[in-house]
């Protein structure tokens, strides 16, 4: 069985009728990028850089960050690597930042909010990523974007940092794509506006579910409500993918839904381009994708959008996969 699945890993992922998707991996450290290509990953769809910061006793400097990003770029041998800028706050602490205690950390001072306030953090990180961009195919993604203002501010800082590095004569990739995580419902609703300006989206279902259904993702007492098959979540996901398609941009997903084979036919039907997951899920998802026809999946997605509860949606998806085993 393992060998059979490994066979799928080596091949690109496409449906029986030739709809091609990119299967990528989520990583937290440069070491995790090693051997990813052999595991069948075609890209890194999410590099959670906060682990570099959390694993350090003080703020990692530009050179240390540069080395880390360069290592990942080189391990992937020119394949895309999406580097997410610092996503700290919420459940993730950095002692040396001395962040204030908050009543609602998940609704508070975290990720891009913190980085736009303490811009030296973001500027240093962007300098490191841009310098590393000379060694591979790096893309930059901003987490926890809630509205266009934050995105525009982040992009303006990027442009300033780039101009400065150019003046210093630093080698860099000519084009570095800039995208946003869609993990706050307000951003998902506004996707058509964002799609005119960003190069790509990556849907973070882990937080998107938390904020859409108002369920703390860490609280087991209410975890029965935490479900990416909630029809409201599916509608938001559809809106994001539709917006990307309407503007010739690409839409990915890096939340755990992307690694769930039950979700795969639905995501295929909605037209998701890039799927980023923990490396252990790659084989199964590739196998599932190659067993489906895109035409059937589009029809399935249309049916699912008529359903009104997570249970009905799970039922329809289970029946769809069972009919294809
Ligand atoms: C997400 O929110 O779906 C995501 C991928 O980011 P994280 O799990 O790191 O918050
Ligand atoms: Mg998140």
- Which of 34-38, 96-100, 313-317 is the least confident region? 96-100
Q: Taking the CB of residue 306, how many other CB atoms lie within 10 A of it?
A: 9
Q: Which atom of ligand 1 is nearest to the CA of 143?
A: 6
Instruction: Quick: pLDDT tens for 90-143.
Output: 888 898 998 889 999 999 999 999 999 999 999 999 999 999 999 999 999 999
Give pLDDT, residue 4: 75
Spatial contact of 70 and 135, defined as CB atoms under 8 Å apart: yes
What letters, b where the CB count within 10 A reaches 16 and e where it falls short, cover 120-147?
A: ebbbbbbbbbbbbbebbbbbbbbbbbbe
Nearest to 172 by CA among 219, 137, 123: 137
Sign, CA dihedral 215-220-225-229, equals positive
Helix (H, G, I), strand (E, B) or coil at 26: strand
Quote the strand ranges of 28-176, DSSP E: 43-48, 80-84, 137-142
Would you give the DSSP letter of residue 32?
G
CA nearest to 119, candidates 167, 160, 168, 166: 160
Residue 233's pLDDT band (boundaries 50, 70, 90)? very high
Question: For residue 216, how far is its CA from the centre of ligand 2 (angstroms)?
Answer: 12
pLDDT at 2: 76
Q: How far is the centre of ligand 2, averaged over its atoms, from the C-alpha of 207 (Å)?
A: 5
| The pLDDT of residue 216 | 94
Check pLDDT > 80 for residue 8.
no
- In angstroms, the first-to-last Cα distance of the chain is 14
Q: What's residue 33's pLDDT?
A: 97
Q: Is 275 helix (H, G, I), strand (E, B) or coil?
A: strand
Instruction: Give the Å distance between the CA of 108 and the centre of ligand 1.
Output: 16
How far apart, in whole angstroms, are the C-alpha atoms of residue 267 and residue 107? 28
C-beta separation of 82 from 46 below 8 A: yes
Question: Other C-beta atoms within 10 Å of 7: how many?
Answer: 13
The answer to whether residue 10 scores a pLDDT higher than 90 is: no
Query: What is the torsion angle, in degrees rounded to the nearest 10, for the CA atoms of residue 248, residue 253, residue 259 and residue 263?
Result: -70
- In this prediction, the answer to ipTM > 0.90 reads yes
Find where tokens 């300006």 sit: 197
Question: Average model confidence (pLDDT) for the chain?
Answer: 96
Q: What are 192-207's pLDDT values in tens digits?
A: 999 999 999 999 999 9
Could you report the per-residue pLDDT of 285-310, keeping only the tens digit for each? 999 999 999 999 999 999 999 999 99
Pocket test for ligand 1, best of 180, 206, 251 (most atoms within 8 A of CB): 206
Arithmetic mean of pLDDT, 254-262: 98
Which residue, among 264, 277, 267, has the nearest Cα to 240 in the 3D structure?
Answer: 267
Residue 248 has pLDDT above 90, yes or no: yes
């Amino acid at each position: 069985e393992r060998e059979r699945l490994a066979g799928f890993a080596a091949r690109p992922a496409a449906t029986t009728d030739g709809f091609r998707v990119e299967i990528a991996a989520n990583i937290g450290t440069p070491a995790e990028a090693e051997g990813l290509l052999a595991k069948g990953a075609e890209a890194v769809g999410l590099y959670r850089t906060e682990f570099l910061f959390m694993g350090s006793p003080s703020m990692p400097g530009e050179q240390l960050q540069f080395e880390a990003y360069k290592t990942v770029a080189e391990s992937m041998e020119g394949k895309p690597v999406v580097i997410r800028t610092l996503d700290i706050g919420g459940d993730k602490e950095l002692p040396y930042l001395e962040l204030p205690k908050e009543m609602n950390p998940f609704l508070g001072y975290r990720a891009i909010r913190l980085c736009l306030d303490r811009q030296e953090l973001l500027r240093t990180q962007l300098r490191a990523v841009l310098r590393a961009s000379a060694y591979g195919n790096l893309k930059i993604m901003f987490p926890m974007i809630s509205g266009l203002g934050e995105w525009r501010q982040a992009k303006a800082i990027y442009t300033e940092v780039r101009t400065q590095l150019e003046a210093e004569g630093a080698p860099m990739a000519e084009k570095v794509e800039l995208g946003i995580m869609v993990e706050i419902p307000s951003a998902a609703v506004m996707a058509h506006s964002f799609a005119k300006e960003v190069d790509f989206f990556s849907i973070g279902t882990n937080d998107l579910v938390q904020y859409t259904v108002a369920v703390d993702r860490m609280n087991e007492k209410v975890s029965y409500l935490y479900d990416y098959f909630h029809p409201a979540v599916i509608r938001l996901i559809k809106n994001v993918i539709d917006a990307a398609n309407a503007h010739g941009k690409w839409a990915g997903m890096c939340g755990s839904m992307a690694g769930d084979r039950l979700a795969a036919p639905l995501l295929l039907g909605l037209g998701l381009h890039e799927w980023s997951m923990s490396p252990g899920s790659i084989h199964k998802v590739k196998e599932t994708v190659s067993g489906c026809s895109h035409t059937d999946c589009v029809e399935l997605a249309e049916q699912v959008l008529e359903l009104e509860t997570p249970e009905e949606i799970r039922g329809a998806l289970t029946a769809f996969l069972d009919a294809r085993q």
